[in-house]
Amino acid sequence: MTSTGPVLFAYDGTELAAQAIEEAGRQLADGREALIACVWQPADVGFVPVGGQHFDADDAVAVRHAAEATAAHGASLAEQAGFSASVACAKAAPTWKGIIEVADQNGASLIVIGAHERHGLASHLAGSVTRDLLAHTALPVLVVRQRTTSGEHEDAAR
C-alpha cells in the first residue's frame, strides 16, 4: 500500500494494543510514519495507564498526563517495530469518534486497532470501539485480533 499519511495506531495500553503494533510492524514497510493515538474521556478513561500509574479519573489534567504517558509507551513499541513514531492524545466520547478525529486531523492513511473479544450481553452493553470505528470511517483499517492459545492470531483488514 502506498501512503502519504501516517499509520494511526489506536493505543489503549493493553497487551492487545501492543500486539497490534507488533503485527503491523511485520505487515508494513520499515520506516513508515506512525501516530500513536490514546483517546481518553473523564471518569471512564478508556485506556490502561502504563506502569500501574494511579490517578484521579475525575481530574482531567491527571487523565491527560496519564494518556500522554500511555501514548509515549505505545510510541516506543512502534519504534521497536520499525516505525518512526509520534503521539497524539484526544479527549473524546465515544472513543471511536476520537480515533477518527485524530486520523482526519493528521491525514492518516491507515488505522490499526486491536479487537477486544467480548461476547454475549457484555458486548451489547459495552459496545465495540472496533465495530463502531469500522462503521464510521472510510479509511482502511487493520484489525488485529487476540492471539489464540497456540500463539497464532487472526487479522482482518478492511
Looking at residue 155, its pLDDT comes to 46
Q: For 78-114, what is each residue's pLDDT tens digit? A: 999 999 999 999 999 899 999 999 999 999 999 999 9
SS in 3 state form for 19-35? HHHHHHHHHCCCCCEEE
Measured CA to CA, the distance from residue 17 to residue 32 in angstroms comes to 18
Query: Residues near 49 by Cβ (< 8 Å), separated by ≥ 6?
Result: 13, 55, 66, 69, 70
Residue recorded with cell 463502531: 132
Q: Please say if the pLDDT value at position 158 is more than 50.
A: no
pLDDT at 49: 74
Q: Report, as an integer, the average pLDDT of 124-153.
A: 78
In terms of pLDDT, which residue wins out, 141 or 57? Answer: 141
Question: Does the CA dihedral 100-105-111-115 come out positive or negative?
Answer: negative
Q: Is the Cα dihedral 69, 107, 82, 47 positive or negative?
A: positive
Strand partners, 142: 112, 157
Q: Among the listed ranges 32-36, 59-63, 131-135, which one has the minimum average pLDDT value?
A: 59-63
pLDDT band at 3 (very low <50, low <70, confident <90, very high): low
Banded pLDDT at 125 (limits 50, 70, 90): very low
Q: Inform me whether the pLDDT recorded for 57 exceeds 50.
A: yes
What is the Cα–Cα distance from 24 to 102, expressed in whole angstroms? 19
pLDDT at residue number 109: 97
**Which helix H or strand E contains 67, and what residues bound it?**
helix 60-80
Task: Please report the domains of the chain, with CATH numbers, ordered by start residue.
Answer: 7-157 (3.40.50.620)
